[in-house]
C-alpha cells in the first residue's frame, strides 16, 4: 500500500476528513490568494479549524491576537468566545484593515472583534486587563518580545498559542542557518524551560506551540 509521501497529498487528505470550510472563510481564503501579497501567510482550513475547536473548548472571555493579516484566524478564534466576549487583534499593516473588517462583518463578528493597527510591541503595553487566550502569529524575530509582554497578562489556566515554531523545518538544522531560525529556536527553548507554564509543541502545519499558564 502506497502511503502519502508529500505535504500536498497529506493536506488534501486532512481537509477531506475534517469538517468543511465554511463559506465566509472559503471566500476570505480565495480573496487572499487572488488579491493580497504573501497569501501563504493565511492560516488556512486545518489550522483554522484547530483554532476554532481550541477556542470553543476553552470558551474564553478575552482573546488577544498578535498578527491579523486578512482576518482568517481572528474569525476562527472569535467563534469560541463567550457570548459577551471580546477578541483584540493587532496588525501593523493598515492596508489590510479593509479586508479584515469586511470579513468580520460577513462572519457576524464585527461586534466581538476589535482591530488595532500598529506595532504590537507598542500596542500591547497600552491594553487593559488580562486575557484567557493569546495567539502569536506576527513578526517572527519578535516572538521572544511578544511572549515577554503577554505572559503576565495571561490568566492562570489561560493559554498562549504561537504559530510557525518549526519554521519550515529549519529549526532541525544544527547550524540554525539564519537569524529568524535562531530566534524561533531560542523561543522554543525558553518556553520549554519556563517554570510558569506547561507546553506542548505540535507539528500541525508549520508547528504550533501550545502553552498553558500555571
Cell output for 35: 488579491
- pTM of the shown model: 0.96
Cβ(159)–Cβ(212) below 8 Å: yes
| Residue 110: inside a domain | yes
Beta-bridged to residue 113, according to DSSP, are 87
- What does the pLDDT look like over 44-86, one tens digit per residue? 999 999 999 999 999 999 999 999 999 999 999 999 999 999 9
| Residue 123: inside a domain | yes
Rg, Å, the chain Cα set: 17
Alpha carbon of 203 to those of 31, 84, 168: distances in Å?
Answer: 27, 33, 11
Cβ(197)–Cβ(211) below 8 Å: yes
- Residue 1 binned pLDDT confidence (cut-offs 50, 70, 90): very low
Count how many domains the chain has. Answer: 1
SS3 category, 5: coil
- What does the pLDDT look like over 136-145, one tens digit per residue? 999 999 999 9
Q: Which CATH number is 107's domain given? A: 3.40.50.150
Amino acid at each position: 500500500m502506497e502511503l502519502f509521501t508529500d505535504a500536498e497529498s497529506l493536506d488534501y487528505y486532512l481537509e477531506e476528513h475534517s469538517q468543511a470550510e465554511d463559506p465566509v472563510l472559503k471566500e476570505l481564503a480565495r480573496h487572499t490568494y487572488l488579491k493580497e501579497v504573501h497569501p501563504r501567510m493565511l492560516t488556512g482550513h486545518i489550522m483554522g479549524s484547530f483554532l476554532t475547536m481550541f477556542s470553543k473548548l476553552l470558551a474564553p472571555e478575552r482573546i488577544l491576537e498578535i498578527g491579523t493579516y486578512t482576518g482568517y484566524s481572528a474569525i476562527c478564534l472569535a467563534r469560541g468566545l463567550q457570548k459577551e466576549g471580546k477578541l483584540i487583534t493587532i496588525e501593523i499593516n493598515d492596508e489590510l484593515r479593509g479586508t479584515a473588517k469586511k470579513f468580520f462583518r460577513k462572519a457576524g463578528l464585527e461586534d466581538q472583534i476589535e482591530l488595532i493597527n500598529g506595532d504590537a510591541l507598542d500596542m500591547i503595553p497600552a491594553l487593559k486587563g488580562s486575557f484567557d487566550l493569546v495567539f502569536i502569529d506576527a513578526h517572527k524575530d519578535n516572538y521572544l518580545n511578544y511572549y515577554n509582554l503577554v505572559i503576565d497578562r495571561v490568566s492562570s489556566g489561560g493559554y498562549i498559542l504561537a504559530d510557525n515554531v518549526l519554521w519550515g523545518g529549519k529549526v532541525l538544522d544544527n547550524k540554525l542557518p539564519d537569524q529568524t531560525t535562531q530566534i524561533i529556536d531560542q523561543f522554543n527553548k525558553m518556553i520549554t524551560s519556563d517554570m510558569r507554564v506547561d507546553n506542548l509543541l505540535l507539528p500541525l502545519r508549520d508547528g504550533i506551540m501550545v502553552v498553558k499558564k500555571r
